[in-house]
Chains A and B, each alone.
Chain A
Amino acid sequence: MAKTILIVDDSASIRQVVGLTLKGAGYDIVDAVDGKDALTKLDGRKINLVISDVNMPNMDGISFVKQMKTMPAYKFTPVIMLTTEGSEAMKRDGQAAGAKAWVVKPFQPAQMLDAVSKLILP
């Protein structure tokens, strides 16, 4: 059974490219445009990994991950945060919220696939 990845980013092009890349590698993809939208996607379905941007309208990535970690079905789901280089503070906030993995923007599709592969293989 293919592993399912939830992509949360307000940029449509990032969702599209990351989605294409990961689908190509054999993962199933669910996507959301911000934290609020992402919470609605956590409806009990199995999510093996979450990739989330930090700075988003409506609900930012950190608040989203904090909320997700309170849900029994998703409290152990690994999270890759999309961070900016140099923003150590943001990375630390993310880690404190439970997002222990990260990919630094800007990234290339192969880098994302590499980070995902470390956490789950398809």
Chain B
Amino acid sequence: MSLDLGEALQTFFAESRGLLQDMEESLLRLESESDDAESINAVFRAAHTIKGSSGMFGLDAIVAFTHKVENLLDQVRNGAVPLKEGMIGLLLACRDHIERLLDFAAAGEEMDADARTHGEALTAQLSQCLGKSATVPAEAVSPLESAGGRPMAGDTWHISLRFGQDVLKNGMDPLSFLRYLGTLGEICHLATLADALPAAAEMDPECCYLGFELCLKSDVDKARIEAVFEFVRDDCDLHILPPGSKQADYLRLIAALPEDNARLGELLVASGAMTARELEMILTAQESAGASQATQKPLGEILVERQIVQPELVNAALSKQKDARNRQAQEAKFIRVHADKLDHLINLVGELVISGAGVGLQAARNKDATLMESVSGMARLVEDIRDGAMRLRMVEIGETFNRFRRVVRDVSKEIGKDIELVIEGEGTELDKTVVDKIGDPLTHLMRNAMDHGIEPAELRASRGKPVKGTLKLNAYHESGGIVIEVSDDGGGLNRERILAKAREKGLIPDDGGNLSDAEVWKLIFEAGFSTAEQVSNLSGRGVGMDVVRRNIEALRGTVDIESHAGLGSIFRIRLPLTLAIIDGFLMGVGDGHYVVPLDMVQECLELDPARSEQRDYINLRGEVLPLLRVKEHFGLGGRAGRRENVVVVNSAGRKAGLVVDELKGEFQAVIKPLAAMFAKVRGVTGSTILGSGEVALVLEVPALLTEAARKLAA
């Protein structure tokens, strides 16, 4: 069978990653409440679903591994194996391994030797946890192939079927099985037996009373025929005589069937299974063998052994805890939408703004009052739509925060400190693109706080603090932006040590001792700065903090530090709510409009035409300020404006002056990404639409700063 499973496979990967996320959260919850049945069930369900789906795509490595994980989880769920603390670590490692296997599958690769070894090691540990308790044998993934088996000689099978009375009520129609049997070969000589049909008054029309004797010409094996009736095997007497069966086999069959022997014999003769002479011999032989044989119980060769029903496991799933129910109720309220679709929608809304502005201009030009009124009504709606579309991109930061539970757990185990993570403000929303990019800087800050902030247990004890350190993640909205705080209750930053280090690295002059605390703290964000006396494998590499600052600035955010000796530190990140809207500063150059982010504008000044050195730089209060003439940079024609202005922009400590014709003031800009064809244009990050419907380009300040410095040096 060939199906295009590509799309379904993508669904599978997305779904599995979501499940692994759930699995991790539940495992971490289990670490504090080891008897939370719902969490155990959630972990089980995640493993179970991943195994089930991956089997469908033939991802056997994932099936095999998750099967083992599921085994252990099943035992834990049953209460057969207690959940010990080390087990959660193992299960987390297994979760990671499944993720790795998924990565291989997604890349279309086989797993490498390292992953294989790792998987085997985990498997061994899983078996150890299971101990002597029953492991469930893995069922062959594809019994279809194995069902092929070796074909028996000959090709005509004799099959006797007596259906139980309940099959119809159970939705099983014997006709369906016969039709299916017909797909395995050719059914010949089918006889329908109504002998068991009771008197009219007693006959229950919803019960099944029919039996069938048939011959099947087919080269399949017996198991394959039995499998046809697997769904009714508790409810059906099935006798299969393979091709070339001996008389004695038929004799046994006749004896086992409820109908009159002579009548059955006739059927067999009619179907060509035996000759009339053979039948006669059989019947004679039977009479002499006595009645005992005839009253023998049916062969029942395929009747399954009945097993004792275990206590209901499923109902455990029904007794869900309240928060779990709430969580699910929330899940149901979400729909998964591809981010591209949202971007597209926001783009369209941008187009709508342009069109709306165009219509507004026409209306104004034609002095059509009623039309202008309608247009302004529409413009309000468009604005609402724009805001609504923007809001669609807003996601709660909680998911990002929760990911750190694992980080904190792993790191604190690794460095031997007992650290608790407290999360607040999970419901605070911000733009999806910001959320995606904030993970790395946060990780660095968290690791830094755990490594350097929180003191070792003995030191904490001697300082009279609780031995267990606390790390806190908090988020809240403040003046149109979002603030994310990473705080610890450790020893705080050490002013003297930072100063000493900064001098050693030549970051400040030797006499630079009169810096304010805030200025001192900022030093740790300088490249190459690291205060760790011992370099650990986590955060002591001296690359962390300056990368953090750069990442945050790339999001148009800032980071500052509050620290109190002996009490701890707070790293406070401020970010814009969205990257799609900026507070900009609008400038005019020739006929064009340009926008720079307002927070990068330091000051504006008029360019004095009388001063000659003003070609490439000006003297700004004793400082050399490189100039970049926007008109030249973009190769624009047109004569210089009557007056030229300098907009002093500042980014990451560098400054330059942008020479423009006109200053137009603050402007809130909805940024539209540039089409791919403009990707090579340096110094522009996007475009925005002005109220007039005209387009303004959004300048990329860091690139322009580099350009200005280069020109000055040349």
Contacts and interface: CB of A to CB of B under 8 A. Distances in A.
Q: Are chains A and B touching in the complex at the 8 Å CB cutoff?
A: yes
Interface residues of A, number: 55
Contact of A88 (B4, B58, B141, B310): B310
A115 B147 CA distance: 14
B318 A63 contact: yes
Nearest to A96: B309
Interface in B226-280: 228, 230-232, 234-235
Given A58-B332, A105-B48, A16 B8 contact: yes
Interface string B654-683: 000000000000000000000000000000
B121 interface: no
B176 A107 contact: no
Contacts, number: 156
Interface in B150-186: 168-173, 176-177, 179-180, 183
A84 B711 CA distance: 70
Contacts of A85: 136-139
A54 interface: yes
CB-CB nearest 8 A-B residue pairs: A106-B55, A78-B171, A86-B136, A105-B52, A13-B12, A89-B310, A85-B139, A101-B231
B53 A13 contact: yes
B144 A114 contact: yes
Contacts of A117: 180, 183
Interface in B47-82: 48-49, 51-58, 63, 70, 74
Contacts of A105: 48, 51-52, 55
A55 B50 CA distance: 13
A87 B313 contact: yes
Contacts of A100: 170-172, 231-232, 235
B8 A20 contact: yes
A21 B1 contact: yes
A117 B331 CA distance: 35
Contacts of B635: none
B142 interface: yes
Interface in B1-47: 1, 3-5, 7-9, 11-12, 15, 41, 44-45
Interface of B: 1, 3-5, 7-9, 11-12, 15, 41, 44-45, 48-49, 51-58, 63, 70, 74, 136-139, 141-144, 168-173, 176-177, 179-180, 183, 228, 230-232, 234-235, 307, 309-314, 317-318, 328, 331-332
A115 to B, nearest CB: 8
A107 B56 contact: yes
A106 B52 contact: yes
A121 B179 contact: yes
Interface of A: 10-14, 16-18, 20-21, 24, 49, 54-55, 57-58, 60, 62-63, 75-79, 82, 84-90, 92-93, 95, 98, 100-102, 104-111, 113-115, 117-121
A86 B317 contact: no
10 contacts: A13-B12, A20-B5, A60-B314, A78-B172, A84-B48, A89-B310, A100-B171, A100-B172, A117-B183, A118-B228
B311 A89 contact: yes
Contacts of B318: 60, 63
Contacts of B139: 85-86, 104
Nearest to B13: A13
A16 B51 contact: no
Contacts of A102: 231
Given A85-B138, A89-B313, 11 more contacts: A11-B53, A17-B8, A20-B4, A21-B3, A55-B41, A78-B170, A84-B70, A85-B139, A98-B170, A105-B51, A110-B1
Contacts of A111: 142-144
A37 B139 CA distance: 31
A101 to B, nearest CB: 4
A113 B144 CA distance: 11
A16 B56 CA distance: 11
Contacts of B56: 13-14, 17-18, 106-109
A111 B63 CA distance: 16
A120 B177 CA distance: 8
B279 to A, nearest CB: 33
A90 B170 contact: no
A55 B45 contact: yes
A111 B55 CA distance: 11
Nearest to A24: B3
Pick from B44, B49, B234 the residue with the most CB of A within 10 Å: B49
B305 to A, nearest CB: 11
